[in-house]
């Protein structure tokens, strides 16, 4: 027996056990000792089914996404027609997927050229003459409608995922369900209302000019609204900090710039004590556009509007280069942080509503944990007794391997920042079953060799040698199945796959290396002349 090899294997095993224990201590000790503070973020996380949390099903308004897309391109079509020399083009809504375009009769060919060349996703309807003008319906083609609807859900899924990551939720489940629904599960979220507000905020940021005069006569309906204007309200807070509608401002309906030009949004201290502002940075296109807007509207108020609410309406003092603006609005630190998140992670392409909401209480998780522990203890005890009775010392050695196997699995979950769920526990149970199977294969092969009259050393070496191919075959094929489950499965399936794959690696190590280490040590010290099996 090569004692150097034995020493190396012993040191490797001891090192792995020490690392495993260290990684598990933050999940066991409360509070975490200062010398383990660097691992505090590596606590073993429990899933929604074990520690409670928030379960949401969100519905994306994909029809609204199509309508908004048509409106944006209709405005671009108006600008392109003017650039092409068409005088006074008129564009009116014609449903969610179409607009009616009216141009002078001598500009009919220019209309067709502009739509064909620059808007290939629109189809032109038959030409009509109304009051001496050419009128044609421009309709979004069906393939583009399908693409926009699909894109709206996928973009919403990605945006919601980014917002939840910024919120700091550990191991959330975010996945698509059906044509327009999104499933969101947030384990251990202590403020579900804040999470819902953050997830569902559409964050449509617009910049519009304020018209004079401004005030309530328009909002009250005492005066008819001038053409091309609308009434919006400023954000106001009462003494209790609750949001409400402030003064009404008359703003131009035309949107000068939207939030798609934003590259970053950060919270900054405001001018007043304990106040916050949100500073936004724009890309090159936004910086150029913002400079043009401010340069052409000096001494006018620019309304910064988020979801149809005016957060601030500063008066432009001079042209502002550099592509940086600020949003004020008497924010608390949390509100300013949430606003910065939704601006930084992008606006939702379509409104999102909560179709289903459930709060899973921690008591349900506690019941699951208690029942899981009870079943694990009872099943494990029966298994250990059976192994010891049937295989004696070899059975006790297999039981010890199972204990270390369980230690390595939980330590690996903590080290990887994975979340333990009920499906994950099922994966652990399956892994332990396969670990027992591996030890049974080894023990039975050793028994066969002993029946042939071989010595203890020869029987052990032959037993491990002949059992190893079967152990590797079964564990490798199961491991590959786990990888496929993780790659293509949903949240619960992934939880099962993670614990299964980790457990299979640990199983091979404990069944083949750790138990063999004990046999080799006893043989090297001359303490084993026969095998108790």
Give 391-438 pLDDT, tens digit per residue. 889 999 999 999 999 999 999 988 887 778 778 888 888 888 888 889
Instruction: Tell me the domain boundaries of the chain.
Output: 3-49+362-524, 63-145, 201-358
CA 322 – CA 336 distance, rounded (Å): 23
pLDDT at residue 23 is higher than 60: yes
- pLDDT (tens digit, 9 = 90+) per residue, 97-127? 898 999 998 888 999 999 898 888 999 988 8
- pLDDT (tens digit, 9 = 90+) per residue, 210-229? 986 555 555 555 667 888 88
Q: How many CB atoms lie within 10 A of CB 473?
A: 10
CA 379 – CA 390 distance, rounded (Å): 16
- pLDDT score for 416: 84
Strand partners, 250: 231
Split at pLDDT 50, 70, 90, the class of 364 is: low
| pTM, two decimal places | 0.57
Rounded to 10 deg, the angle between the 333-344 and 142-167 helix axes is 140
- pLDDT score for 172: 76
Geometric angle at alpha carbon 99, from 93 and 103, rounded to 5°: 105
Q: Where are the alpha helices (DSSP H) in 168-264?
A: 192-200, 216-219
CATH of the domain spanning 201-358, picked from 3.20.20.70, 3.30.479.10, 1.10.10.10, 3.30.1360.200: 3.30.1360.200
Q: What architecture (CATH level 2) is domain 63-145?
A: 2-Layer Sandwich (3.30)
Pairing of strands 309-312, 229-237: parallel
Q: What architecture (CATH level 2) is domain 3-49+362-524?
A: Up-down Bundle (1.20)
- pLDDT score for 136: 92
- pLDDT score for 218: 55
DSSP E strand boundaries for 315-448: 324-327, 352-360, 419-420
If you average pLDDT over residues 258-276, what whole number do you get?
A: 79
């Amino acid at each position: 027996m090569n004692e150097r090899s034995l020493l190396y294997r012993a040191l490797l095993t001891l090192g792995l056990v020490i690392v495993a224990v260290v990684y598990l201590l933050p999940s066991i000790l409360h509070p975490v000792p200062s010398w383990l503070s660097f691992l505090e973020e590596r606590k073993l996380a429990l899933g929604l089914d074990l520690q409670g949390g928030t379960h949401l099903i969100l519905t994306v308004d994909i029809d609204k996404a199509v309508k908004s897309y048509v409106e944006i391109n209709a405005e671009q079509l108006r600008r392109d027609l003017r650039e092409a020399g068409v005088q006074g083009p008129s564009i009116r809504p014609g449903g969610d997927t179409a607009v009616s375009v009216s141009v002078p009769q001598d500009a009919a060919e220019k209309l067709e050229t502009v739509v064909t060349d620059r808007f290939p996703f629109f189809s032109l309807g038959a030409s009509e003459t109304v009051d001496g003008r050419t009128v044609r319906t421009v309709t979004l083609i069906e393939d583009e409608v399908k693409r926009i609807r699909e894109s709206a859900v996928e973009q919403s899924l990605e945006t919601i995922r980014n917002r939840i990551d910024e919120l700091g939720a550990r191991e959330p489940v975010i996945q698509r369900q059906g044509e327009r629904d999104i499933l969101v599960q947030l384990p251990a979220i202590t403020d579900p209302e804040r999470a819902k507000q953050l997830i569902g905020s559409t964050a449509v940021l617009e910049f519009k000019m304020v018209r004079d005069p401004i005030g309530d006569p328009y909002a009250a309906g005492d005066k008819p609204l001038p053409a091309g204007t609308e009434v919006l309200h400023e954000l106001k807070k009462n003494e209790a900090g609750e949001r409400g509608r402030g003064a009404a401002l008359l703003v131009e309906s035309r949107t000068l710039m939207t939030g798609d030009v934003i590259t970053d949004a950060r919270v900054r201290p405001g001018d007043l004590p304990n106040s916050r502002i949100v500073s936004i940075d724009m890309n090159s296109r936004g910086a150029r556009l913002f400079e043009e807007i401010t340069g052409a509207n000096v001494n006018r108020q620019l309304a910064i509007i988020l979801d149809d609410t005016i957060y601030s309406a500063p008066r432009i003092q001079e042209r502002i280069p550099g592509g940086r603006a600020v949003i004020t609005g008497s924010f608390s630190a949390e509100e300013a942080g949430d606003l910065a998140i939704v601006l930084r992670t992008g606006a939702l392409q379509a409104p999102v509503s909560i179709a289903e909401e459930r709060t899973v209480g921690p008591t349900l998780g506690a019941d699951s944990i208690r029942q899981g522990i009870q079943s694990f203890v009872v099943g494990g005890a029966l298994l250990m007794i059976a192994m010891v009775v049937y295989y004696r010392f070899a059975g006790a050695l297999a039981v010890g391997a199972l204990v270390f196997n369980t230690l390595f699995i939980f330590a690996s979950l903590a080290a990887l920042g994975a979340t333990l769920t009920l499906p994950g526990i099922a994966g652990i149970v399956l892994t332990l079953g396969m670990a027992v199977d591996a030890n049974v294969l080894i023990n039975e092969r050793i028994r066969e060799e002993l029946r042939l009259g071989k010595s203890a050393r020869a029987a052990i070496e032959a037993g491990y040698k002949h059992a190893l191919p079967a152990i590797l075959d079964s564990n490798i094929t199961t491991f590959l199945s786990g990888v496929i489950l993780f790659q293509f499965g949903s949240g619960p399936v992934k939880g099962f796959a993670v614990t299964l794959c980790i457990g299979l690696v640990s199983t091979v190590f404990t069944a083949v290396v750790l138990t063999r280490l004990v046999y080799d040590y006893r043989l090297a010290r001359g303490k084993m002349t026969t095998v108790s099996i």
